[in-house]
Amino acid sequence: MEKTVVVGMSGGVDSAVAAYLLKKEGYNVIGLFMRNWDSTINGEDFQNDDIICPQERDYNDALKVCEKLDIPLKRVDFIKEYWDNVFKYFLSELDKGRTPNPDLLCNKYIKFDLFKQEAIKLGADFVATGHYARIENGKLLRAKDLNKDQTYFLADVPLDGFKNVLFPIGNLTKPEVRKIAEEQGLVVANKKDSTGICFIGERNFQKFIHNFLKENKGPIVDISTKEVIGTHNGLMNYTIGQRRNVGISGNTERHFVCGKDVKNNTLYVTIGDEEYLYSDACLIDNVNFISSVHPTFCTAKFRYRGEDVNVELEYLENNEILVKYTDKAKSVTPGQACVLYLGEECLGCGFIKTVYKNGEKLWYL
């Protein structure tokens, strides 16, 4: 009996090729487009109409792809759910001076929960997306294309969230995906990859955030000398390790954001001495294990584009883990995900709560 697969169509090349490959394999394929953001009702103040409806352009691209592949395209709105489960958390973390990654929550609450429920209503036996990842023998594995691997963003999805999920392009590289799209005459073959906040897209970050969080200027302090050397325009606009657009006029030296004091609304920077950016341990909480393997030694990624770091795990109470790394790591940032790996397998993640060096909590984080 023919199996039905509902594919999350984003309007990009990855989901388009995923849908093509599944149809080629003989599945009954249904496309489903998610609309999770509406600038007109979510408080954005735009003058440029070309910016207001990026999701409408994506929907039109998805529709053209589905017409080319001769598959139906359905549409569903999760605007309220996205606001409640993803965006409110994102704003709350920024307001606390932390650096959240909404993509992980978007996958957890929207793509691999609400979307799956909607797919089941459409009669799905399987759900598929255009993620660069693999599932083999119940394990979440890194993609063939390590440069595009997206397991970092999938690490907070509960284990049952991957049940009956397919990742058709996980064994392909990005150039191979684009080549397939070109060969099949798909309109999105050369479409630029989406960047920015999950489902919101590219924005001038500071202008966008100021639609929701009040600008609260304060001092920029040289952490070594304790001298005030500038004025920041809101702690939510900066992340640890940031070097560009810090706002120190007239200073040509290399300076990096190294800390935030939310209580006193102070941004700390280091000029020249990057040692303030390094740590050797962190505490993670809200741990989610995808794997049944809970090792003592493994590797960790502290950001999507970060390198794998060898770590030792000490399991604590309250679903917390002390992550110790013998080789110091740079710019480990509260609020971001610490994703754990054992070789190719993604084990899960936790969220960075506290950062340490030489057994002491870094006071400026």
Classify residue 17 by burial, with Cβ atoms within 10 Å: 0-12, 13-18, 19+: buried
Q: How far is CA 199 from CA 10, 11, 31, 145, in A?
A: 9, 11, 17, 23
Q: How far is CA 314 from CA 278, 284, 322, in A?
A: 20, 11, 5
Sheet holding 218-222, edge to edge: 228-232, 218-222, 266-271, 255-261
Q: Is 66 a catalytic residue?
A: no
351 DSSP β-pair partners: 285, 337
- Among 198, 258, 346, 349, the active-site one is 198
- Please name which of 351, 311, 324, 312 lies closest in space to residue 335, comparing C-alpha atoms: 351
Tell me how crowded residue 57 is: count the other CB atoms within 10 A of its CB: 13
Q: State the Cα–Cα distance between residues 76 and 111, nearest whole angstrom.
A: 12
Q: In sequence order, which residues have a C-beta less than 8 Å from that of residue 250 and are 6 or more positions away? A: none
Q: How far apart (Å, rounded) are the C-alpha atoms in residues 43 and 90?
A: 15
Cβ neighbourhood burial of 156 (10 Å; 0-12, 13-18, 19+):
buried
In one-letter notation, the amino acid at residue 325 is Y
b/e for 37-54, b at 16 or more Cβ within 10 A? bbbeeeebeeeeeeeeeb
The tokens describing 364, both together, are 């400026």
Catalytic residue among 106, 258, 298, 338: 106
Active site residue 53: no
- Residue 46 near residue 87, CB atoms below 8 Å: no
Q: Are 243 and 255 in contact (CB under 8 A)?
A: yes
- Please say whether the beta carbons of 16 and 181 come within 8 A: yes
- The CB-side HSE value for 350 (13 A sphere, CA atoms) comes to 22
Active site residue ranges? 106, 198
